[in-house]
Structure 1
Amino acid sequence: MTQMVYGFWISRSLQIMAELGIADIIGDEPKTAEELAKASGTHAPALRRMLRLLSGLGVLIKDEQTQAFGLTELGEMLRKDSPGSVYGSLRAHGHLLSWSAWGDLVSSLKTGQPSVEKFMGDSFFGYLSSHPEDAAIFNGSMAAYQSLNAPAVVGAYDFSQVRSVVDVGGGTGTLLGHILQSHPHLKGALFELPHVKAEATARLNGMGLGNRCQVLEGDFFAKIPAGHDVYILSQILHDWDDERSLKILTNMREAMGPQSKLLIVETVLPGDNVQHFGNLYDMAMLVLVGGRERTGPEYSALVEKAGLRVHRVLPTYMPPSVVEVVPA
């Protein structure tokens, strides 16, 4: 219970460590608190106290002889470009997704509406569209998260008989790029809003996929491009309530052919009395965007209203599962 009560003190310390770039300052060469304070513009005695906290948690390790702090294997994940980096998530949750929104959680519990809108003065996605610096932080966190999810999705689903795949609302192309790199026979398309096109095109070209992947502009609330074997909605439906999710799924059904498949990549909640990461994410969807995570039966009921049916649910080693949906 004590860990749960004071847990946010730890998460805030990690968020500030990312904000100050401490892990990248340390890099491959351990440094003293004084060196880190000078490089980060902080007060050395105060910073040393936070470093002591994080060393006790296994994020840092101190050499008692040199008094220098180095990164443990766990701490390496705080570096911007390390495999499995959580830097982007810490930056986003320390600024956009955390304090003000969660601090007014009671508002969401009383109204059912996202509390984040009270201090942003707009919907979450509306705010991002008019604040490019914050949007860059958020997009970076999502790209990092998808870089962890992508191998799990590829490992769970057999794309060998698929010819073309379109990632609907696929951000800057992290998941789609990984799928295409893992399956050279595939052709793909990324379907996103216009303001994402330049960054997505650059990312996919940088992955050497420009000749096998199109970046298409559009809005999944209006129309989804037809003619593909497999459609992907990854971390999309949990952003929206049932009414808006049904609109997306209805447009999806209109785009799908008789043999097309839809892969919904989302955390599938196991139900009550189970400790599960998805339960935390479900609360985050409430306070941020008014969306929700769903159970298996809830997904089945939702897609059936759009003329679809759940064929199977494939777990991955990450929290999200692959829910394979076909025309009813």
Structure 2
Amino acid sequence: MTSTPPHPAQLIVELGFGFIVSGALAAVTELGVADRLVQGPKSAALLSEELGTDASSLYRALRLLASAGVFTEDAEGRFGLTPAAELLRSQTQGSLRDAVLMLTQNIFWAPTGELADTIRTGKTPFDRIFGKPFFDYLASDAAAGATFHRGMSSLSDLENGPIARSYDFSPFQKVVDIGGGHGGFLIEVLQSSPKIRGVLFDHAHVLAESRIARAGFADRCEHATGDFFQEVPAGADVYVLKRILHDWSDEVCVGILRNCRSAMAPGGRVLVVDTVIPPGNAPHGGKVLDVMMLASLPGRERTEAEFGKLFAQAGLRLSRVIPTPTAMSITEAVAET
């Protein structure tokens, strides 16, 4: 049974109000409301005593989120957890608390509010708002940088396993995860292919929070610091670029891909793990993410044809696009002969 689509006017109004729901979600996540409901439903008054907030304001935000399926409100006005609200807890398997705080932080929120100017000029207002480009700002602001990297790890944990299992790494000996963050994806690759060795490649301050050793793979994975704009570790069979190229312009992406092409062993390949925008009007997570990139970064989500052009300029050839159970695809490139 299919649901009836909203009236056109209702659709427009709901889309226009969407930022209010995002704001409420960010607020109660930051306050830690979900953690306070583990033992059972509580009123907004009791929650406010525990959290040091205004009871009426908290009630109104929770009432909105309950109407959206995040939390429930019972006849006594007490709020409880739903399966969605469980994911806002800080200490739970698959928690998305850090992901919500990352997605709703000011580095995305503020530039999105000036999207009309971006569309007029083709340039993000990020540098003007924050005084420097996106990643330079994250490097200079420890709190914002930590929120971003924790959030990306949280978001990636949902997809790492399904994506890693969508590709057969078993024929290869060595894989480099470029800009691999805390190592979540590489851990899944090492688990799926017991004979392969890994290199987690990123900046030193990111690698400081690596999870490789805790996962038991210190003997099969080394850490390498460096700048993928300059060079990447040499001699590997597979170079993974997961959620990397979508951050950058075509020109910069070609440079990164050329570095991989120069470094890889004979018969090697590059795996770009990003969304691949399909044709047509169907909803797709990559279309939302693409406009997020438009607002805050110089990058974009790309179509299969656009990936093919990038690879060709870097001396590579698009060999196949492998779908995964997530919104991401694995776009494989080999050396052009």
Classify the TM-score, shorter chain: over 0.9
Alignment match, 1:153: 163
Name the SS of the counterpart of 1:137 in structure 2. helix
Change (3 A) 1:43 1:133: same
Structure 1 residues 1-328: aligned runs within 5 Å: 1=11, 2-64=13-75, 67-200=77-210, 203-328=211-336
Q: CA deviation at 1:247?
A: 0.4
Q: Which amino acid aligns with 1:3?
A: E
Range with greater deviation from structure 2 (136-145 or 147-156): 147-156
Q: CA deviation at 1:275?
A: 2.2
Range with greater deviation from structure 2 (44-53 or 8-17): 44-53
Name the SS of the counterpart of 1:220 in structure 2. coil
Instruction: Give structure 2 stretches of 5+ with no counterpart.
Output: 1-10
Q: CA deviation at 1:314?
A: 0.5
CA–CA distance in 1 between the matches of 2:40 and 2:128?
44
CA–CA distance in 2 between the matches of 1:186 and 1:12?
43
Name the SS of the counterpart of 1:311 in structure 2. strand
State whether residues 102 and 148 of structure 2, in contact with CA within 8 Å, keep that contact through their aligned partners in structure 1: yes
Q: Which amino acid aligns with 2:270?
A: L
CA–CA distance in 2 between the matches of 1:96 and 1:167?
28
Instruction: Give structure 1 stretches of 5+ with no counterpart.
Output: none
CA–CA distance in 1 between the matches of 2:94 and 2:122?
34
Q: Which amino acid aligns with 1:125?
A: F
CA–CA distance in 2 between the matches of 1:96 and 1:181?
36
CA–CA distance in 2 between the matches of 1:16 and 1:33?
14
State whether residues 274 and 328 of structure 2, in contact with CA within 8 Å, keep that contact through their aligned partners in structure 1: yes
Range with greater deviation from structure 2 (69-78 or 174-183): 174-183
Q: Which amino acid aligns with 1:322?
A: I
Range with greater deviation from structure 2 (68-77 or 267-276): 267-276
Report the RMSD for the aligned CA atoms in angstroms.
Answer: 1.5
CA–CA distance in 2 between the matches of 1:104 and 1:272?
27
CA–CA distance in 2 between the matches of 1:190 and 1:172?
8
Name the SS of the counterpart of 1:301 in structure 2. helix
State whether residues 79 and 85 of structure 1, in contact with CA within 8 Å, keep that contact through their aligned partners in structure 2: yes
State whether residues 16 and 94 of structure 1, in contact with CA within 8 Å, keep that contact through their aligned partners in structure 2: no
Name the SS of the counterpart of 1:265 in structure 2. strand
Q: CA deviation at 1:228?
A: 1.0
Q: Which amino acid aligns with 1:27?
A: V
Q: Which amino acid aligns with 2:202?
A: E
Q: Which amino acid aligns with 2:298?
A: G
Identity %, equivalent residues: 40
Name the SS of the counterpart of 1:279 in structure 2. helix
Q: CA deviation at 1:28?
A: 3.7
Q: CA deviation at 1:21?
A: 1.0
Q: Which amino acid aligns with 2:27?
A: I
CA–CA distance in 2 between the matches of 1:25 and 1:58?
18
CA–CA distance in 2 between the matches of 1:173 and 1:81?
20
CA–CA distance in 2 between the matches of 1:44 and 1:314?
50
State whether residues 84 and 148 of structure 1, in contact with CA within 8 Å, keep that contact through their aligned partners in structure 2: yes
Q: CA deviation at 1:272?
A: 4.6
Q: Which amino acid aligns with 1:207?
A: A
